[in-house]
Amino acid sequence: PFEVPQDASRRLAKAMRIKLYLLQQPGPNSFLVGDDNLSSKYRVIIGSQTCTCGRGPPNCVHILFVMLRVFKLKQNNPLIWARDLKNYEVEGLFQNYHEREKAKCKKRPSFRDSRSTNTSVDEVVQKDECFIEDEDQNTCSICLLKMTVSDSLVQCQFGCQNYFHHHCLMIWFEERNAHGDPLICPLCRSQWPANRKNLSAVSGEINVDFVVDSFSDTESIPESHKETSKCWISVFGDSTVKFLFSSRAGQRELGLKFVNDLVVSRLMELRSSANLDLDQLQVFAPTISVLVHACKDEEYKVFYAAVNLMRNLFIHLPCNRQSYTRLQTSARPLVETLLNRCSDRHQRVTQLALFNLVELAKNHAGCLAIGSALRPNPVAAAVASVAGGGGGGGTGGDVGGVCGGVGGCRGGGVTHPGEPGPWGVLFLLECIVSEYCLSRVSWQWLLGRLLLLDRLLDSFPGHFTVHETSCKARIRLFGILRFAVTALNSQQPRISKMAGRVFVLGARQVAHLSDCAQEAERLVRSIEDASVRQKMLRRLELIRSEFSAVYR
């Protein structure tokens, strides 16, 4: 029996594009599927159509991944939505899958004899006619997505000669390394050479030089960035930095993954040192600089990798409270970069940037809490986090992959659950609210800040509630109102609309105080455009009427 859901097309489209990886086949009728950073792995059993994520058809994206991308079923095949399969159906699916994998190992011609030692992997791809003509040969056997000439690819030079996405192969190698297994080709199982120190001492981390030397040529660092990159090279090495400046998005993403692994390993070595000053954390300043650079990247997958690096930097940072002011100063350029990405033309970038800035506003309760991963006992930390009122989790989809829930911290100088950290609403307002001239700022600069102000006013109303004696809240709120009124003079319709929304949200907080309401009206009367001014005056009057009706 099967049931096609009403939103079948949306579910199928998600399953065809989501970042999932086929890690192994642990049983005759099962697959192990991992997400982008291997933080979660799921066992999918074919026949009973079950998954360790707890969802079954039609809600489990991991089952859809196997049925569509591993077994290559057509989207109109009823087996996709079946709640259980008959034995002959299961046997047929696996037989076809294994035959395709064997055929891939036989078809690929070898170019080892025809290539020089200096030929890059990408040059070989352009010579390989089979890469262009055969659909199965064009599919990466790890992520089961199509490979293109523009992707960063790796060839199995020691066996079947097949290609894989560079990033996918690193995911595969990390999984092998985590279990102490030798590095082998995912298809032909040929062992990769281990004559260089191909694995670092840290579990799950692959040596960068091994990857660069074995797989592809990297590009040189642009002249315009050579001065900036000097401090990066001293910490991360020349090979990694070259990846960060590659013209190929896959290599830039891979470079950020190398930086992430190194940063986490360095900080974990210092996890018992709770009272470290930022000066003692040699990896901190270069990583922030890399993040400012990478968060400007136009490719979503590179931006996603940068946000993941930011999260791991913050949650593994054993920083003392005396360094909070310097931490805020150092992180401010990064926050300003994220603010600009809040108005990106790609909606996924906008959502991810806004989500992480809101997590910063949550401070110790958010998934970017300083030192939150350095807890001695996850269960005890979770209990302490609940007792302290904290516990910010992630949302679904890509955002959830970057930010999961966090617990407490360890050590005398590191933030504990329930204690304030260096972030918070006030820190973000310092980065957002300032005097500005419309003609001197870009629309992206302004729109990104308005979008975040809208989220902050909606998500943290307690920070903006003005009472008779709340002088600080009043100053804070009127700073936002003045910021919004200036934006209302913009000729950009989207900016003017968002500025009006921010102003109305703020004005609702002061409608019960006559002097504050009068001050808000004076701000509105300073708007240059007469039609906008009259529109906002009508909105203010409506807010007053609503307030009077409620408290009459």
What mean pLDDT comes out for the span 386-413?
41
pLDDT digits (tens, 9 = 90+) for 209-263: 444 444 444 557 777 778 888 889 888 888 788 889 888 887 888 889 889 988 8
pLDDT digits (tens, 9 = 90+) for 352-368: 999 999 999 998 888 89
Instruction: Tell me if the pTM is above 0.75.
Output: no
Q: So where are the chain's domains?
A: 6-105, 137-198, 204-208+221-331, 431-551
In the DSSP assignment, the letter for residue 69 is I
Q: Which residue has the higher pLDDT, 518 or 6?
A: 518
Token pair for 539: 């909105």
Q: State the average pLDDT for the chain.
A: 78
pLDDT digits (tens, 9 = 90+) for 106-117: 755 544 443 333
| pLDDT at residue number 125 | 41
| pLDDT at residue number 107 | 57
| pLDDT at residue number 279 | 65
Confidence of residue 395 (pLDDT cuts 50, 70, 90): very low
Kindly give, in sequence order, each residue whose CB lies less than 8 Å from that of residue 124, ignoring residues fewer than 6 positions away. 111, 115, 155
Q: Please check the confidence at residue 452 and state whether its pLDDT lies above 70.
A: yes
Q: Which residue has the higher pLDDT, 473 or 528?
A: 528
Q: Please check the confidence at residue 379 and state whether its pLDDT lies above 70.
A: no
- Distance in angstroms (rounded) separating the CA atoms of residues 120 and 214: 10
**What sign for the dihedral angle of Cα 398, 401, 407, 413?**
negative
User: Under CATH, which number does the domain 137-198 receive?
Assistant: 3.30.40.10
- Distance in angstroms (rounded) separating the CA atoms of residues 137 and 140: 8
- Distance in angstroms (rounded) separating the CA atoms of residues 50 and 60: 9
Helix axes 471-487, 425-432, angle to 10 degrees: 40
Q: Please check the confidence at residue 451 and state whether its pLDDT lies above 80.
A: yes
Of 115, 91, 29, give the one whose Cα is nearest residue 66.
29
pLDDT digits (tens, 9 = 90+) for 298-349: 999 999 999 999 999 999 888 777 788 888 999 999 999 999 999 998 999 9
